[in-house]
C-alpha cells in the first residue's frame, strides 16, 4: 500500500519540478505548450467553484512527450483554484514503488495522476493519455501516417485533451463533495 502523504511530501510544485528535473531544452518544450493552453470561461467557473481540498499527485518525467503535452494543462487547472487544488509533480524514478503502483498495461507510463482526499486517501487515478489523444494516435499510427513527435498538438487536440482533464478533476471533486465521510466532517 502506497503512503500517498509521503509521496505528496516528496513531490514538487510545477515550476520547482521543472527546475530540478528538466534540462533547458525540456523546460522550453513545456513552456511552449504551457503558453498555448487556455481554459474556457465555463471551465474556469467550474474549477473555481470547487470547495473541497484536493491534493493531486502527478507522476511525470520532463523528458516525456506525453508529459510535455499534458502536464502544463494540469498546471492551468490547478492555478484556476489554488485554494482547492494542490497539484504536485513527482519524477517517475524518484519513488519506484509509486511508479510500480501506477503502471499502465504493465509499464511505468507517465503522466499518471492520483487524486487524493484532504487526508490523503486515494479518490481516483487517471493517465497516461486521454481518450482524444489515443484516438489521434490510433488515426496516425494505425492509418497511413506516422507521427514524428516533433510537432506540437493542434489547437483542437489541445482543447479536447484539456476538456478531458477538466472532466477528471471535476469527477474527483464530486466524489469528494458527495463523500458521506467528508460531508459529516465538514457539516455539509
Q: Which residue has the higher pLDDT, 128 or 7?
A: 7
**How many residues belong to the chain?**
188
The dihedral built from the CA positions of residue 34, 152, 39 and 137, taken in this order, carries a sign that is: negative
Which pLDDT score is estimated for 148? Answer: 47
Kindly list the domain boundaries of the chain, sorted by start residue.
4-186
Q: Give the CATH class of 4-186.
A: alpha beta
Which pLDDT score is estimated for 110? Answer: 96
> What is the per-residue pLDDT across 128-177, written as a single tens digit (0 to 9) for each?
999 998 888 888 888 765 544 556 778 899 999 999 999 999 999 999 99
**Entry pTM:** 0.92
- 3-state secondary structure (DSSP) of residue 91: strand
Q: Which residue has the higher pLDDT, 146 or 17?
A: 17
Place of cell 457539516: 187
> What is the per-residue pLDDT across 59-86, written as a single tens digit (0 to 9) for each?
999 999 999 999 999 999 999 999 999 9
- 3-state secondary structure (DSSP) of residue 46: helix
- What beta strand segments (E) does the chain contain? 54-60, 85-91, 112-116, 122-127
- Average pLDDT on 48-62 reads 98
Residues whose CB is less than 8 angstroms from the CB of residue 117 and which lie 6 or more positions away in sequence, other chains included: 54, 55, 123, 176, 179, 182
Residues whose CB is less than 8 angstroms from the CB of residue 155 and which lie 6 or more positions away in sequence, other chains included: 36
Mean pLDDT of the chain: 94
Amino acid at each position: 500500500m502506497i503512503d500517498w502523504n509521503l509521496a505528496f511530501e516528496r513531490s514538487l510544485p510545477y515550476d520547482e519540478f521543472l527546475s530540478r528535473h528538466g534540462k533547458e531544452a525540456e523546460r522550453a518544450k513545456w513552456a511552449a505548450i504551457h503558453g498555448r493552453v487556455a481554459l474556457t470561461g465555463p471551465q474556469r467557473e467550474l474549477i473555481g467553484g470547487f470547495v473541497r481540498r484536493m491534493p493531486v499527485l502527478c507522476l511525470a518525467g520532463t523528458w516525456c512527450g506525453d508529459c510535455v503535452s499534458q502536464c502544463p494543462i494540469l498546471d492551468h487547472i490547478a492555478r484556476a483554484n489554488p485554494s482547492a487544488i494542490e497539484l504536485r509533480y513527482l519524477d517517475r524514478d524518484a519513488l519506484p514503488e509509486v511508479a510500480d503502483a501506477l503502471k499502465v498495461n504493465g509499464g511505468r507510463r507517465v503522466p499518471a495522476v492520483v487524486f487524493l482526499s484532504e487526508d490523503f486517501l486515494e479518490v481516483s487515478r487517471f493517465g497516461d493519455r486521454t481518450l482524444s489523444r489515443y484516438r489521434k494516435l490510433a488515426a496516425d499510427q494505425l492509418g497511413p501516417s506516422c507521427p514524428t513527435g516533433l510537432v506540437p498538438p493542434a489547437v483542437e487536440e489541445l482543447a479536447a485533451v484539456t476538456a478531458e482533464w477538466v472532466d477528471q478533476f471535476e469527477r474527483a471533486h464530486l466524489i469528494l463533495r458527495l463523500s458521506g465521510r467528508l460531508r459529516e466532517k465538514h457539516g455539509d
